[in-house]
Amino acid sequence: MSQNRNFYKKFTYAIGKEEDGKCVKEILRKKLHLSRGEISHAKGEEDGILLNAKRVTVAHPVQEGDVVEVHLHERKEEEGKILPAKGELSLVYEDEDFVCLNKPAGMVSHPSHGHFLDSLANYLAGHFEEEGEHHKIRVVGRLDKETSGLILFAKSQICARRLFEQAQDGSRKKEYLALCAGFFAEKEGIVTAKIRKVPEEKLLREVHPEGRSACTHYLVEEQKEGYALVRLILETGRTHQIRIHMAQIGHPLLGDTLYYPSYQGQMKRAALHAALITMPHPFSGKPLRFEAPLPEDMKELL
């Protein structure tokens, strides 16, 4: 492998009797589950697509006993510009492809104005540096600064693309827990109000008939006096979706100064926590389940 290559992924498939006579492309798509983009990328590599250790076109037929290999590379110049920094990380899972972290409330996911060295991404870059690894930091589904819980970072564009596709096809599911104001007459329900950015506002979103479609499922886990612990599952991922939808039905999140400005309780941030992710591994397909317990500021109110 040449010196300027950084990330490398190999896929192998042994041809059985049922695949005899099919073309290489069909094996790549249906057996190795490679995307069109990944196949196109592999075509440009000298060792990208091999049949019995020899380079072939994707139209080449295969026979029982053949071995198909695909080699995907990423170039070193794709490494990111995020500066490494030392900081505490709550590592839930890590392998050669991606990382799952438990983000504390009050920390931004990615560098932004005023947070160039104290984001979760900076601390992850520092972790990679300590481990002697070199990866561009690719966050998969950011969490708001106030939101705590599970967040994924891919170690390659190849993996990031697969994780994005999982979100699109619904194979990767994420569940949130929130503390919502009021008494719930209905213990479960669906909110489908459309959401748009408020004109001339930087952060604020609103329900509007001309907004983008949005769908939130909710299930009351525990009803307390004046508020409830609610589990939420999103079908869409609009900015502030949970916060807006729960406020829309009269149950805003405790501590949410944007959508519940009259709140005067002890919660110092929007009480929202990304608690659970279930997904197949982006390459092996192995079922994975990641959980993050409720943080203390939410647990104290239960």
How many beta carbons lie within 10 A of that of residue 44, not counting itself?
Answer: 8
Question: What Rg do the C-alpha atoms of the chain give, in angstroms?
Answer: 23
Q: Rounded to an integer, what distance in angstroms lies between the CA atom of residue 226 and that of residue 184? A: 10
282: nearest Cα among 76, 36, 80, 11: 11
* pLDDT at position 76: 54
Whether 144 is catalytic: yes
**pTM, whole model, 2 decimals?**
0.84
Q: Rounded to an integer, what distance in angstroms lies between the CA atom of residue 75 and that of residue 84? A: 20
The stretches of 8-153 forming alpha helices (DSSP H) are 24-30, 36-43, 120-130
* Assigned token pair, 271: 């009480």
CATH number for the domain harbouring residue 161: 3.30.2350.10
Helix (H) or strand (E) holding 153: strand 148-154
9: nearest Cα among 71, 84, 91, 80: 71
* Assigned token pair, 189: 């329900």
Task: Pick the last residue of a domain from 150, 169, 188.
Answer: 169
Strands 148-154 and 272-280: parallel
Task: Pick the last residue of a domain from 77, 94, 117.
Answer: 77
Is there a domain that residue 301 lies in?
no
Residues 180 and 236 in one domain: yes
Strand partners, 227: 181
Residues whose CB falls within 8 Å of the CB of residue 134, separated by 6 or more in sequence, listed in order = 6, 76, 79, 128
Is there a domain that residue 290 lies in?
no
Residues 181 and 249 in one domain: yes
Band of the pLDDT at 115, cuts 50, 70, 90? confident
Band of the pLDDT at 112, cuts 50, 70, 90? confident
Is there a domain that residue 225 lies in?
yes
Residue 246's domain comprises 175-274
For the stretch 185-228, pLDDT in tens is 999 999 999 999 999 988 899 999 999 999 999 999 999 999 99
Single out the catalytic residue among 20, 47, 95, 144: 144
Average pLDDT for residues 115-135, to the nearest whole number? 91
